[in-house]
Chains A and B, each alone.
Chain A
Amino acid sequence: MKRYFHEELEDVRSNLMLMGEKSVEITNSAMKAMLEGDQVLAEKIIKSDDVINDIETQIDDEVARYISLRAPVARDLRLLFVAVKASHDLERVGDEASSVAKRTIKILTEGPIGPSLGQVPKMCELAVSMLKEALQSFIQEDENIAYSIIKRDKEVDSLNRENFSQFVELMKQDPSTVATCTEMVFVSKSFERIADHAKNIAEEVYYLLTSQSLKEVIRAEKQGR
């Protein structure tokens, strides 16, 4: 039997999806602002972070209310836990994107961004695709998608390490790039963090769908081999 209050769970779900869309959008925009040296867009991103924060607060309120009033169990309860955790991850994605936008503005005061982008655009592409797929696994209730995301996190990590060496090298060769390259080290780190959050969401969704810990599953697989 579907109860009248089950619609409230749908509200939580759709708020989480909305938040996911906003996070993807803000991450893409942060990259765009950097590539195009668009200061106006960068400033817009910093402001729009509030929208994401507001949705997180709303999700928290809805979850607290549902737990207090509806005595959820089993999958309904897991959904609420996942909503709180995933929305926190998405909120952090928003923070990282807006930090990239702030650094873009700083770099632009030094001059055009030029050749020192390293692997950052590639990282962004990967991080965004991970985010999108994490959300897709939630929407389609497909734990296999969640599972497949985990491996790609390693790729992003190694690109981040590659960037680091490259930026350090650049600074050595041309000390006038120190300010910009230092910012870029942090920018690279931000995209690496975004990918981490996408991975966390994938783990959370996996738990929602299977009530198993994805970390445990992967550990068990490794030992089995």
Chain B
Amino acid sequence: MPVMEDRLENKTRMDATNVESPPDEKNRSLIKISDFDFFYGDKQALFDINMDIAEKEVTAFIGPSGCGKSTLLRCINRMNDLIEIARIGRGDVRVNGVDIYDPRVDATVLRKRVGMVFQKSNPFPKSIYENVVYGLRIQGISKKSVLDDAVEKCLKGAALWEEVSDRLDTSGLSLSGGQQQRLCIARALAVEPDILLMDEPCSALDPVATAKVEELIHSLKNDYTIVIVTHNMQQAARVSDRTAFFYMGKLIEMNATDQMFMSPNNEQTEAYISGRFG
């Protein structure tokens, strides 16, 4: 359904009933999750999630292991479609007003709008250049000048250009862990998404590489809406504008990051962020 896809890509004006707030307003809600229940087989992983994720902000998901952060993140670009037993019990996820689980939405188109960067950097065993243009080639783009431009732009965007511009033909696997992670971010940027989902992007990195990725996230938020899952509370505090705390599949509190770390509303949040949990 082209109309569906255009709306997802924000090409046409959305019909008034679907607009949550005026499109030009800053920090309008771009992702809206409502009354959302999610299951793996019989086991419920998410309970009645309601949240708004603002455009061009960084939103951090925190919470103890197994609380459902990655599950929810994957629901935003339908990565869970790939898991056989996964199913939605109730509710919906809307991106730009479009119900992304509507059967008329093409998941490939969705994932072009909503890119993902994984915990373990996973460059393909190809050159740095080919890693970046991978998504573009899939789209059938083969004109060299277009690809060249994209490589430079995205590697610059991912703060990696200066380190690799003289060796674009070498394998992506020859890079350091932190460089590989930034390469994966460059690859995600190449298809020009609106939203970047990052699942623990720094968990395998040393403090310097982590700092570089954090700086990158900070600069990317001018152009992208970013949702990041992190186990590192200080990282959430440093990079995010809003923080969501999950516990046992439930969203316990979502708030401005300042507020969340200085005086959270919920006792469980307070216990978790101050290390008094469990």
Q: Give me the interface of A with B, judged by CB distance under 8 Å.
A: 1, 3-5, 64-65, 68-71
- 6 A-B pairs besides A1-B211, A1-B212, A65-B258 with CB distance below 8 A are A3-B211, A3-B215, A4-B218, A69-B257, A69-B261, A71-B234
B16 CB-CB contact with A under 8 Å: no
B238 CB-CB contact with A under 8 Å: yes
Question: Taking CB as reference atom, which chain A residue is nearest B236?
Answer: A69
A5–B258 CB distance below 8 A: no
B208 CB-CB contact with A under 8 Å: yes
Assembled-state Cα–Cα distance A70/B234 (Å): 7
Which residues between 221 and 278 of chain B lie within 8 Å of chain A, taking CB atoms? 234, 237-238, 257-258, 261-262
Q: Mark B192-217, 1 if CB is under 8 A from A, else 0.
A: 00000000000000001001101100
B211–A69 CB distance below 8 A: no
Residues of chain A lying within 8 A (CB to CB) of residue B262: 64-65, 68-69
Question: Taking CB as reference atom, which chain B residue is nearest A5?
Answer: B238
Q: What are 16 A-B interface contacts by the 8 Å CB criterion?
A: A1-B208, A1-B211, A3-B211, A3-B214, A3-B215, A4-B215, A4-B218, A5-B238, A65-B258, A68-B237, A68-B258, A68-B262, A69-B257, A69-B258, A71-B237, A71-B238
B237–A70 CB distance below 8 A: yes
Among A1, A3, A5, A68, point to the contact of B261 (Cβ < 8 A).
A68
Question: Taking CB as reference atom, which chain B residue is nearest A65?
Answer: B258
Residues of chain B lying within 8 A (CB to CB) of residue A5: 238
Question: Taking CB as reference atom, which chain B residue is nearest A4?
Answer: B218
Question: Taking CB as reference atom, which chain B residue is nearest A61?
Answer: B262
Interface size on B, residues (CB 8 A): 13
Residues of chain A lying within 8 A (CB to CB) of residue B214: 3
Residues of chain B lying within 8 A (CB to CB) of residue A3: 211, 214-215
Assembled-state Cα–Cα distance A70/B214 (Å): 12
A69–B238 CB distance below 8 A: yes
Residues of chain A lying within 8 A (CB to CB) of residue B208: 1
Determine which residue in A1, A4, A69 has the highest number of CB atoms from chain B within 10 A of its CB, and name it. Answer: A69
B237–A69 CB distance below 8 A: yes
Question: Taking CB as reference atom, which chain B residue is nearest A67?
Answer: B262
Assembled-state Cα–Cα distance A68/B233 (Å): 11
Residues of chain B lying within 8 A (CB to CB) of residue A71: 234, 237-238
Per CB-CB distance, the 5 closest pairs between chain A and chain B, nearest first, are A69-B237, A68-B261, A71-B234, A68-B262, A4-B218
Determine which residue in B211, B218, B238 has the highest number of CB atoms from chain A within 10 A of its CB, and name it. Answer: B238
Distance (Å) between the CB of B117 and the closest chain A CB? 20
Residues of chain B lying within 8 A (CB to CB) of residue A4: 215, 218
Residues of chain A lying within 8 A (CB to CB) of residue B261: 68-69
Residues of chain A lying within 8 A (CB to CB) of residue B234: 70-71
Assembled-state Cα–Cα distance A97/B261 (Å): 37
Assembled-state Cα–Cα distance A69/B263 (Å): 12
Residues of chain B lying within 8 A (CB to CB) of residue A65: 258, 262
Residues of chain B lying within 8 A (CB to CB) of residue A68: 237, 258, 261-262
Residues of chain A lying within 8 A (CB to CB) of residue B237: 68-71
Question: Taking CB as reference atom, which chain B residue is nearest A69?
Answer: B237
Residues of chain A lying within 8 A (CB to CB) of residue B238: 5, 69-71
Assembled-state Cα–Cα distance A212/B238 (Å): 30
Residues of chain B lying within 8 A (CB to CB) of residue A69: 237-238, 257-258, 261-262
Residues of chain B lying within 8 A (CB to CB) of residue A70: 234, 237-238
Distance (Å) between the CB of B72 and the closest chain A CB? 24
Distance (Å) between the CB of B231 and the closest chain A CB? 15
